[in-house]
Amino acid sequence: DALRLKYFKADDPAYYPVLLSELKVNFAQWKSERKIDPSNCPEQLRQILFEIDEVLEGN
């Protein structure tokens, strides 16, 4: 099935850019759906969101 194929492909370094792109989109969508505004949230949550964004951007 499609999910199993994604997990299989995740082991392939050539698939990493595709997987990373999907993660970025899904994370942004998740923040939007929950109306999370990093500039207006508790400091601990803001730091977690910042760190996730940094990882997704490759920094």
Residues 45 and 41: their CA atoms lie apart, in Å, by: 7
Mean pLDDT of 33-59: 90
> Is the pLDDT confidence value at 49 over 90?
yes
pLDDT digits (tens, 9 = 90+) for 2-38: 555 556 666 777 777 888 888 899 999 999 999 999 8
Domain ranges across the chain = 2-57
Check residue 3 and give its pLDDT: 58
Check residue 17 and give its pLDDT: 83
Check residue 43 and give its pLDDT: 94
Residues 24 and 20: their CA atoms lie apart, in Å, by: 6
Residues 11 and 45: their CA atoms lie apart, in Å, by: 30
Residues 48 and 44: their CA atoms lie apart, in Å, by: 6
Which residues, including other chains, have CB under 8 Å from residue 58's CB and lie 6 or more apart?
Answer: 20
> Is the pLDDT confidence value at 40 over 80?
yes
